[in-house]
Amino acid sequence: METVEMNSVSLKRPRSEDDVANADEIKRQKISEKSKTGNNSGQSVETVTEQPDKSLLEDTKNEIIPNEESEEQEDEELEDSDEDGDPESFADMMKHGLTESDVGITKFVSSHKGFSGILKERYSDFVVHEIGKDGRVSHLDDFSVPVDDEVNFEDPSEETFTVLSDEDKQRLEELQLLKNKETSVAIEVIEDTKEKRTVIHQAVKSLFPGLETKTEDRDGKKYIIAYHAAGKKALANPRKHSWPKSRGSYCHFVLYKENKDTMDAINVLSKFLRVKPNIFSYMGTKDKRAITVQEIAVLRITAQRLAHLNKCLMNFKLGNFSYKNHPLKLGELQGNHFTVVLRNITGTDNQIEQAMHSLREIGFINYYGMQRFGTTAVPTYQIGRAILQNNWNEVMDLILKPRPGAEKGYLVKCREEWAKTKDPAAALKKLPVKRCVEGQLLRGLLKYGMKNIISAFGIIPRNNRLMYIHSYQSYLWNNMVSKRIEEYGLRAVPGDLTLKGATAVHIEEGDVDNYSIHDVVMPLPGFDVIYPKHKIGEAYKEMLVADNLDINNMRHKIRDYSLSGAYRKIIIRPQNVNWEVVAYDDPRIPLFPTDLDKLEGKPLPVLPTHGKFRALKMEFSLPPSTYATMAIREVLKMDTSIKNQTQLNTTWLR
């Protein structure tokens, strides 16, 4: 089967799921008219939806891939305040953004005709369930708390969470974190009974690890005195003796979250529990604009405390608690199972059948999705290339210089100040949010000076720094896999690479009939990898030479930036592929139940046999580090770049 060039475009809906039905219906009519009209090449116009200033799908990458505006949770309100703006202005700014072809995404593997559909009209139209290393799919289906054989002072009662006043909690937290000069905190016992004193003792010890308590009489009144048993040592190793020996040190639980990414969720949980985020572990990061279900582990926090958060937090539910002796590690998962609804589809039944059969039988090109490369006029791969070239002035310039396109207002002012003065202190004053990459780099320049950019850049968290070079690696891979498919099509050829265990070997002439395209891998450039023995091997070398890099020497003088190589399959064939077309009248109703709906006993949505609209509900499982966006792109034949989506928004909104 020949590959199909990508020449259709996509339309993104900027409105949220709370829009009134009439407005939705009018706009759908406009979409329908657009898709019937088509473009100059006779292809239909594809439709997609997402918030204008976010990548189409965050997907479930198993690496932490923050963008240049990652902040602590306390900065979220400031960050979100200017997300909503005039769509036409945003579209004008996004003229400077990336398209798929800019990052090497240019091919399809299927021959069916594309059709339109609205992706993520509601975040509940995109549900992700994590698949653990044992192949078990994570589901939230149990709120009960495990009971220990050994009774333990750490297990809090319900009253524990309410017995302390907000002022008491604030004082105790400052004491716990050694933020003041006080050596103890006294809490008066208003209702002096043994039971009341016991509850206060329990509340302090449960909620503030590292503190001990005692009872004292002062002026005829009873006080609970909280104090540090061993100062900083107690903080580093909080009261191991209070945790039952028979219980595993880690509480594992299933986290169900809506419209929140994994790191934000961990930050929220840590703030409510008054612990550091680094005591949580997980196997993969999950999408924001979606409903996701994944396993989390936390060190020495009881299921009771975690279960209490279900009464305090919105858009989160915690359940399926168990105690184990191990944390979780990034990348340990087998993959993720997706349930996706594409609303208001225009494809015929035959087109849909062809598209879904092709997805199941052939699969899709395993491209790195658009979110890997950023949304502004300075792609993350350009910064990664400058790091690998050891061009640190270029790194600084790319991160801090003014750039056209969609950005927060304060970042624009910061960049303008930097361009005018090259003064880190002056530019930093323009940033109300200091946790972004720009703020961290400026702080580094203040600390180490303009002549030590390497050390200044090192202040940025390691994952953020490595994200840049991984983006460049992804950019190379996308371009090379497009070239490989263009040159040799969907068949294994002599000189291709395949994996034998963890080792890559070349496919020899006499063995080529024993392999299919699904066996072929391509290298992610780096040290200790081999390259195909055909034209694509030379193309890798040419692309790296053009970027002033040596394919045979990808080690960097700074160890962190030495690019380790790996191998990645060219074509991914999803597992457990199922689909159905459903009719609906109301765009606001859910089209399938979630785990929470089932747990709470909500009735199934009642859908008409014939409705105003049709939706494609699709399910499939993907391995780690693959992008659901790219699978959906293959089904609809659409361009997933924000630039293409927003350029059509303004036409559609008129």
How many of the other CB atoms lie within 10 Å of CB of 416?
A: 14
Assess whether pLDDT exceeds 80 at residue 94. Answer: no
pLDDT tens digits, residue range 434-456?
A: 778 999 999 999 999 999 999 99
Q: Who's near 525: CB < 8 A, 6+ residues apart?
A: 473, 476, 477, 540, 544, 551, 554, 563, 565
Give the pair of three-digit tokens for residue 347.
């494809």
pLDDT at 643: 67
* Residue 49: per-residue pLDDT: 30
Sort residue 259 into left (φ over 0), alpha (ψ -120 to 50) or beta. left
Other beta carbons within 10 Å of 175: 21
352 pLDDT above the threshold of 50: yes
- Pairwise CA distance, residues 478 & 640, whole Å: 15
- The C-alpha atoms of residue 490 and residue 516 are separated, in whole angstroms, by 8
Q: Tell me: the pLDDT tens digits for 275-334? A: 888 999 999 988 788 999 999 999 999 998 899 899 888 899 999 999 999 999 988 999
| Beta-sheet pairing, 10-13 with 46-49 | parallel
| Model confidence at 74: pLDDT above 60 | no
287 is catalytic: yes
Q: List Cβ neighbours of 338 (8 Å cut-off, separation of 6 or more).
A: 126, 127, 128, 618, 619, 620, 621, 622, 628, 631
Cα gap 622→327, rounded to integer Å: 24
pLDDT score of 524:
94
By CB atoms closer than 10 A (0-12, 13-18, 19+), residue 29 is exposed
Residue 125 — φ and ψ, nearest 5°?
-80, 0
Catalytic one of 287, 496, 595, 639: 287
Cα separation, 73 vs 19, in Å, equals: 27
Show the CA angle centred on residue 407, arms to residues 406 and 409, nearest 5°. 125
CB atoms within 10 A of CB 299: 16
CB 302 within 8 A of CB 313: no
Which pLDDT score is estimated for 119? 81
| Sign of the torsion angle spanned by Cα atoms 324, 329, 330, 335 | negative
How does DSSP assign 254-314, residue by residue?
EEEEES--HHHHHHHHHHHHTS-GGGEEES----SSSEEEEEEEEET--HHHHHHGGGT-S
Going by C-alpha positions, the residue among 142, 120, 131 that lies closest to residue 291 is 120
Residue 243 has a pLDDT of 79
Q: Read off the pLDDT of residues 564-609 as tens digits, 9 standing for 90 and up.
A: 889 999 999 999 999 999 999 988 889 999 999 999 999 888 888 8
Rounded distance between C-alpha atoms, residue 420 and residue 414, angstroms: 10
From the centroid of its chain, how far is CA 63? 8
Q: Averaging pLDDT over each range in 56-65, 371-380, 462-471, which range is the top one?
A: 462-471
Distance, CA of 119 to CA of 638 (rounded, Å): 11
* Distance between CA atoms of residues 199 and 368, nearest Å: 53
How far apart are alpha carbons 20 and 23 in whole angstroms?
A: 6
Q: Please give the Cα distance from 124 to 265 (Å, whole number).
A: 17
Angle at 266 between CA 261 and CA 267, to 5 degrees: 100
CB-based burial label for 251 (10 Å; 0-12, 13-18, 19+): buried
Cα(313)–Cα(169) distance, rounded to whole angstroms?
18
What was the pLDDT predicted at 649?
A: 38
**C-alpha span between 615 and 115 (Å, rounded):** 12
Mean pLDDT of the chain: 80
pLDDT value at residue 166:
82
